[in-house]
Chain A
């Protein structure tokens, strides 16, 4: 299908119009309904995040705050992979689709028999592991139009027949030789499958890319930096803070050609508004971690992007951290919700950024409504100026301002952010957001670094430690009011809460911990109502589904990812430390590696 053949011009024209027709008749609408229909049932879990809005909220209430203490494991499945297990499986029409970290195996499991229906175990060049920052994690699959979409680490996007596992088509999305890899879950919306690119620590130039789900043909590709046409922006109609962005912003906000290795990678989560037909995602850190080498705002790294699903054209941008000096990678999920602000119902998106600010924006216009710290120990900026949208940076904690070769101490949060990839949940029941967070600060020392294709392009050394003068732990689980910009309650955790949240109509919020505990909390108070110790530390996301009228809750355990650096064992007699060290290592006392899916249910007996 993809092999080039010599065809006459008239044939080509005919084919083009024929496929256009086919698309109009079946493509967009049908594929969209295919996923939509299943989201609507609340029985399936057909999309990472549970719905297009990425709310991670379920209407199911069979398991609720009155009976959750009786929750027990119903079945388990070992993935056979030791690396960090992020994301969550999908459930479509009685089949569960489980993904693994590299080598990115897929297992289709029949929920009646709990047997493997088919397995897809791709063969990938293991050299790709060496160019993956922070472990070979993978955050999940996508489903649409009878296909399962697998985004392999080596940038191959594969469409598999959901029933048989047979390969339908595959495309290559990037080149690991220049540090391009993938860890993100693709998103299916309309007749497109959208995916991103990783490699922010390798000087990759980030982009989002959409393929037509029927045949894998390219629909559009939009870079995060560079010329307007390659970014799919219109200087007159693409806006930021309500104004047209103007020409060449992706070039002029950089020195020289630094934008060509300017990062802005797109390894986070995608969300979609079917009414506006807009796709949302964030872009990552700008190239090297040494800010001196890239003066300027470095547009459009660290940016929330809203694009037309069909054309990729940019509707609006909001840059959260201009001229990043901390690696506050802006890729965290954008949760779409309708909430009341100042007595008015607003269609918003809420983003908990690595930089410690939570942003509430009008998702149609990009208007900034709220920008407040979700942890009051954030010190790199005092506040966000609501007129300009810019953070007011504190020079004392700004490595770029202090200059290269200076060790800037006590910056909060650390590079891994007060929240990293672990997605939050929006409860439609309470109207609040439930956020797994980190509570870690850092010393940051940038220095001059040279770019070599396919090699780390970092140029800074960091020490990370629990937030000083606080409760001593490295994480929290918080409830957030996105209309007011206020923490409603918070629960302290010993380690970073690196696991995605789930809320349900049963009045529950679920999340895992790095020690390996899977917890259910009361959404009103945060009180822990139940917990179960899984085989390994949890960096995966809680999810729920229904089978034979019974509600199940599940999670992948398997310590790793960036949080896996906490697995370092202390050396014997290593009680001394020069400044801030040591505290990050304690995980080794709690857990070991290994990927397992554990699925819970209420017992059949009373």
Chain B
């Protein structure tokens, strides 16, 4: 997966991360083939919890980078996603309260917020004048999605510009699509995802 050139900064402080890991019942790891909602098997969950415990130890006395590396290794092992990787933390009722996504998907989310949200709304949920993109990606093919993003679209009284010459959007198109599919497949709730440090 492509990475954004921007400098990465840890989003959560160490103490916050520790707190979250200690509070939530478990981590839910979701991978995605082409829209399939893969169930994570018990082994994977156990393994993830192990990672969580390891990370807690790691964070307390080792550089964070190492803990992050551990994370990445397990995700690769747990799923062979070709669109996105989502790692969620859940509360004791199984509700996802925090999710992290791979770099590309994160950049996709951010690009949507910057270049698309003025029309398609916060979280791509649509507005009074532009469609809900999460719903839209379930209705059109991936090829059609990139075609519309590249060339724009014109209907009566409505117009979307093409973004193929836009360096802020076009190089990040796969991340945009990945984010929308993750939302459409129910693998990622609305709101700001964290970024996996891969």
Complex Cα distance, B132 from A289, in Å, reads 24
* CB atoms of B168 and A450 under 8 A apart: yes
Interface stretch among B39-47, B67-75, B107-115?
Answer: B107-115
Neighbouring B residues of A464 by C-beta, 8 Å: 122
Complex Cα distance, B117 from A540, in Å, reads 23
Question: Is A131 interfacial (CB 8 A cutoff)?
Answer: yes
Complex Cα distance, B111 from A582, in Å, reads 20
Interface residues in A105-154 by Cβ distance below 8 A to B read 126-131, 133-136
Question: Is A215 interfacial (CB 8 A cutoff)?
Answer: no
Complex Cα distance, B129 from A84, in Å, reads 9
* CB atoms of A135 and B129 under 8 A apart: yes
A204, chain B: closest CB distance, angstroms: 14
Partner of B161, one of A127, A447, A450, A578: A127
Neighbouring A residues of B128 by C-beta, 8 Å: 83-84, 135, 559-560, 564-565, 567, 593
Neighbouring A residues of B166 by C-beta, 8 Å: 452, 455-456
Neighbouring A residues of B99 by C-beta, 8 Å: 578
B142, chain A: closest CB distance, angstroms: 20
Neighbouring A residues of B160 by C-beta, 8 Å: 130
Complex: chain A residue closest to B11, CB-CB: A407
Complex Cα distance, B115 from A585, in Å, reads 20
Interface stretch among B52-60, B77-85, B183-191?
Answer: B183-191
* CB atoms of A129 and B125 under 8 A apart: no
Q: Given A452-B166, A564-B128, A571-B135, do A82 and B157 touch, yes or no (CB 8 Å)?
A: yes
* CB atoms of A134 and B118 under 8 A apart: yes
* CB atoms of A405 and B9 under 8 A apart: yes
Neighbouring A residues of B95 by C-beta, 8 Å: 576
Interface mask (A212-226 → B, CB under 8 Å = 1, otherwise 0): 000000000000000
Complex Cα distance, B8 from A220, in Å, reads 47
* CB atoms of A568 and B114 under 8 A apart: no
Interface mask (A396-407 → B, CB under 8 Å = 1, otherwise 0): 000000011111
Neighbouring B residues of A51 by C-beta, 8 Å: none
Partner of B191, one of A459, A460, A577: A577
Complex Cα distance, B98 from A81, in Å, reads 41
Q: Given A450-B168, A455-B161, A455-B168, do A201 and B118 touch, yes or no (CB 8 Å)?
A: yes
Neighbouring B residues of A577 by C-beta, 8 Å: 189-191
* CB atoms of B154 and A126 under 8 A apart: yes
Neighbouring A residues of B191 by C-beta, 8 Å: 463, 577-581
Complex Cα distance, B129 from A102, in Å, reads 12
Neighbouring A residues of B7 by C-beta, 8 Å: 404-405
Q: Given A102-B157, A129-B158, A448-B6, do A569 and B112 touch, yes or no (CB 8 Å)?
A: no
Interface residues in B8-28 by Cβ distance below 8 A to A read 8-9, 11
Interface residues in B136-155 by Cβ distance below 8 A to A read 152, 154
Question: Is A584 interfacial (CB 8 A cutoff)?
Answer: yes
Neighbouring B residues of A461 by C-beta, 8 Å: 109-114, 117
Complex: chain A residue closest to B111, CB-CB: A461
Complex Cα distance, B187 from A573, in Å, reads 12
A415, chain B: closest CB distance, angstroms: 11
Interface mask (A515-556 → B, CB under 8 Å = 1, otherwise 0): 000000000000000000000000000000000000000000
Complex Cα distance, B186 from A571, in Å, reads 10
State how many residues of chain A have any CB contact under 8 Å with chain B: 61
Question: Is A462 interfacial (CB 8 A cutoff)?
Answer: yes
* CB atoms of B158 and A578 under 8 A apart: no
Complex Cα distance, B132 from A585, in Å, reads 12
Neighbouring B residues of A576 by C-beta, 8 Å: 95-97, 189-190
B48, chain A: closest CB distance, angstroms: 18
Neighbouring A residues of B96 by C-beta, 8 Å: 576, 578
Question: Is A189 interfacial (CB 8 A cutoff)?
Answer: no
Neighbouring A residues of B114 by C-beta, 8 Å: 289, 447, 449, 456, 458-461
| B96, B97, B119, B154 pick with most chain A CB within 10 angstroms | B119
* CB atoms of B168 and A407 under 8 A apart: no
Question: Is B163 interfacial (CB 8 A cutoff)?
Answer: yes
Complex: chain A residue closest to B9, CB-CB: A405
Complex: chain B residue closest to A453, CB-CB: B165
Complex Cα distance, B163 from A560, in Å, reads 24
A581, chain B: closest CB distance, angstroms: 4
Complex: chain B residue closest to A465, CB-CB: B122
* CB atoms of A447 and B129 under 8 A apart: no
Q: Given A133-B118, A135-B129, A560-B128, do A578 and B98 touch, yes or no (CB 8 Å)?
A: yes
* CB atoms of A568 and B125 under 8 A apart: yes
Neighbouring B residues of A406 by C-beta, 8 Å: 9, 11
Complex Cα distance, B116 from A201, in Å, reads 12
A249, chain B: closest CB distance, angstroms: 29
Question: Is B1 interfacial (CB 8 A cutoff)?
Answer: no
Partner of A462, one of B97, B122, B154, B193: B122
Complex Cα distance, B139 from A157, in Å, reads 41
* CB atoms of B190 and A129 under 8 A apart: no
* CB atoms of B161 and A131 under 8 A apart: yes
Complex Cα distance, B193 from A445, in Å, reads 12
Question: Is B104 interfacial (CB 8 A cutoff)?
Answer: no
* CB atoms of B190 and A565 under 8 A apart: no
Neighbouring A residues of B119 by C-beta, 8 Å: 134
Complex Cα distance, B97 from A257, in Å, reads 44
Question: Is A274 interfacial (CB 8 A cutoff)?
Answer: no
Question: Is A242 interfacial (CB 8 A cutoff)?
Answer: no
Question: Is A296 interfacial (CB 8 A cutoff)?
Answer: no
Complex Cα distance, B99 from A577, in Å, reads 10
Neighbouring B residues of A581 by C-beta, 8 Å: 122-123, 189-191
Q: Given A448-B6, A461-B110, do A567 and B190 touch, yes or no (CB 8 Å)?
A: no
Complex Cα distance, B141 from A439, in Å, reads 39
Question: Is B196 interfacial (CB 8 A cutoff)?
Answer: no
Partner of B134, one of A405, A447, A571: A571
* CB atoms of A567 and B122 under 8 A apart: no
Complex Cα distance, B130 from A130, in Å, reads 11
Q: Given A126-B154, A579-B192, do A565 and B127 touch, yes or no (CB 8 Å)?
A: yes
Complex Cα distance, B125 from A584, in Å, reads 11
Question: Is B3 interfacial (CB 8 A cutoff)?
Answer: no
Q: Given A447-B110, A450-B168, A576-B95, do A456 and B125 touch, yes or no (CB 8 Å)?
A: no
Question: Is A40 interfacial (CB 8 A cutoff)?
Answer: no
* CB atoms of B165 and A130 under 8 A apart: no
Q: List 17 additional contacts besides A83-B157, A447-B110, A456-B168; criterion CB under 8 Å.
A: A289-B114, A405-B7, A405-B9, A445-B113, A458-B114, A461-B111, A560-B129, A565-B121, A568-B122, A571-B135, A576-B189, A578-B97, A578-B98, A578-B189, A579-B191, A581-B191, A582-B190
Please name the 8 residue pairs, one residue from A and one from B, whose CB atoms are nearest each other, closest first.
A461-B113, A578-B191, A564-B128, A568-B125, A130-B161, A576-B189, A129-B159, A567-B128
22 contacts between A and B (CB under 8 A): A82-B157, A126-B156, A126-B158, A130-B159, A130-B161, A136-B129, A201-B118, A405-B8, A406-B11, A450-B167, A458-B118, A460-B113, A461-B109, A461-B110, A463-B192, A559-B128, A564-B127, A565-B127, A568-B123, A571-B134, A578-B189, A581-B191
